Amino acid sequence: MVKLRTFLMVSLCCAAAASAGLAQNVYNLPQVANGGGLIRTTFIGFNNGDTAATVVLTLRRDDGSPLALELSGLGTDSTHVFMLQPGETRFLETTGQGAVQAGSAQAISTAPIGFSGVFSLLRAGGGTLTEAGVGASQGLTEFVIAVDSTGVFNTGIALQNLSGGDNQVTFTLFETQPAGSATPRGGAPQTTRTLEGDGHLSVFFSGAGGLFPNAGSTRGLLRIQAQSEVAALTLRQGRSGSPLTTLPVVSTASDQTSFVLPQVANGTGIRTQFILFGLGGAGAAGGGGANVNIALTDSGGAAFPVTLSNGESGSSFDLTVGGTEAVFLETDGAGALRAGAARVTSDQPIGLTAAFSLLNAQGQITTEAGIGASPAEDEFSLPVDLTSGFDTGLALFNPGNSTANLTLQFIAEDGSTAGTEFPLGARATASIEPQGAGLSLAPLNQLARFVSQLIMGLGEVRGQLAVTSDRPVNALTLRQGSTTLTTLPVQPGVGGGGPGPGPMGSELVRSVEPGIDGRADVTVDRVLDGGFRLSGTVTVPMGFFPTSVIAIESGGEVYGGSVDFFGNYLIIVPAGTYDVRVCAAGAALPAAAAPAGAGGTSVLF
């Protein structure tokens, strides 16, 4: 028996066979946590397409059981369902209160969206100590990460089991000798862990309770092999808790040999660390390793000379990376502050990540952001947060041999491209190259600016920035607070945005069982007859109309169906127990009642 309430929900039993699964867009976040007044996770979802998306967000504990957390605007549950209209952006925050709990999250959307998280450590007296962006991770069975337990740092790994059964994971450590040799020190020790079905593991590689507690102060390569797919990310953390950085993992099957980092910097208060590593096999090491070049250019495309931790100086560096080796190279943070981009090429597939660090007057790292290689895109979007002391930055690099002409459009949190809170038609110009309503980026030029600098007059807002270019460019999102810095991925594609919702906003209605009125509480206990489908009619609140319908099987599988304007729905499913959920949106205002000034005028620079 299941009780229906506002945002109605009902479980239906269907003794049917046959199947028609929903085409799913899956976003795995291998690390979320909340509690103690010191830890909070923010989920960021934005729809940069032209189709409304229904998103099912499921939270799980280490043992795979449901993890119920309160999310802003959605209540407390382990499964949260919400809609993202075209152009809409949502920031869903946990409270940070209650007992400390950790686990993983998986979002399944009926349309492609941008989805990521921010994992925040809070100060006891208030404010954010440090935070790290958590991008969506693909499922893998064999991958590698670089590990570092020297100085103030330790490296951890977060794993999310994507199967419903137990999953044994094997870890092999290849330690790098001080001279940079790929020869493992003391062999290649192994250890295993078993993740329960849908379970989660976050563990440091070194130190008490770690995978290799006796590894001590070392750097090297960690190869991870799982019996079935896991999602994973690297956690790089200071021993005092700060700074905290996340980095992607790299599949051992990767064939990537060319990389672009759209934002590197060096000078007083800032340095960049490059982390290059083999893919865990003996082939590259036995053949002398991969031959790698790092080329640095400044914002104007000229050579960007730096001095690295190995003593070399210049703007172009050649090195060899063995198949079981990790190489850490750091700029010295000396001289006048300069920024630019890095291009890395190799004659064999390798892994590459980087960390962009801010330093205090004593040269200690106060905060840092992990940087992964960025693909070149001609259309992409990124989440924007200009509230509570945060700003959002955009780093761009033109890798081509001809000028790239770009246009930027801000889309507000509710999906609108016009609104009275913004000066309609406002323009801002990048200081290096005024272009009126657009921006030109010459070959090999790099630009990093805050959104508040690119588009004037936005104020305290959230939303997304849509970027189009006539040439593919590399891009990176930077989220910066008064004492924090982190990166977030960009999402390919740009959507339409529109005049925004009507005065009632939009609302999610969870239901339904045949003939149930969706406007009042009701209790339903029914077993459906055998057949191929779930069907019925739902009545939604006045001023709303149904937009989509899904059935969520008790194991988490999602099936899509059809629903018409009158609330008649149909979903084809196999045998099982389901939550059937219909989403409804508020009807838009008639054109005559739209706010003054609305009409699709874009806010561009």
Least confident span in 53-62, 163-172, 184-193, 431-440: 431-440
Q: What's the confidence (pLDDT) of residue 284?
A: 39
Q: Which residues contact 183 (CB under 8 A, 6 or more apart)?
A: 177
Q: What's the confidence (pLDDT) of residue 24?
A: 74
Q: Which residues contact 232 (CB under 8 A, 6 or more apart)?
A: 30, 137, 140, 143, 145, 157, 158, 159, 160, 224, 249
Burial bucket for residue 587 (CB in 10 Å: 0-12, 13-18, 19+): middle
- pLDDT, one tens digit per residue, over 442-499 is 999 999 989 888 887 788 999 999 999 999 999 999 998 878 888 888 999 997 655 4
- pLDDT, one tens digit per residue, over 350-405 is 999 999 888 888 778 888 888 889 999 999 999 999 998 899 999 999 999 999 99
- pLDDT, one tens digit per residue, over 304-356 is 999 999 999 999 999 999 999 999 999 999 889 899 999 999 999 999 999 98
Q: What's the confidence (pLDDT) of residue 344?
A: 98
- pLDDT, one tens digit per residue, over 511-554 is 334 455 544 555 555 554 444 567 777 776 665 667 677 777 77
Q: What's the confidence (pLDDT) of residue 560?
A: 74
**12-23 burial string, b = 16+ CB within 10 Å, else e?**
bebebeeeeebe
* pTM recorded for the entire structure: 0.79
Of residues 100 and 597, more confidence is placed in 100
- pLDDT, one tens digit per residue, over 277-308 is 999 875 433 456 899 999 999 999 999 999 99
> Alpha-carbon distance 501 to 587, whole Å?
7
Q: What's the confidence (pLDDT) of residue 13?
A: 34
389 φ/ψ angles, rounded to the nearest 5 degrees? 85, 0
- Report the chain's terminal Cα–Cα distance, integer Å: 56
Q: What's the confidence (pLDDT) of residue 544?
A: 63
For the chain, the average pLDDT equals 80
**Residues above pLDDT 70, as percent of the chain:** 78
Q: What's the confidence (pLDDT) of residue 376?
A: 95
Mean pLDDT of 61-82: 94
- In three-state form (DSSP H/G/I as H, E/B as E, the rest C), the secondary structure along 331-355 is ECCCCCCEEEEEEEEECCCCEEEEE
- pLDDT, one tens digit per residue, over 375-386 is 999 999 999 999
CB 582 within 8 Å of CB 566: no
Q: What's the confidence (pLDDT) of residue 350?
A: 97
> Token digits for 268?
């007083």
- pLDDT, one tens digit per residue, over 171-189 is 999 987 543 444 445 568 9
Q: What's the confidence (pLDDT) of residue 263?
A: 93
Q: What's the confidence (pLDDT) of residue 109?
A: 93
Q: What's the confidence (pLDDT) of residue 562?
A: 73
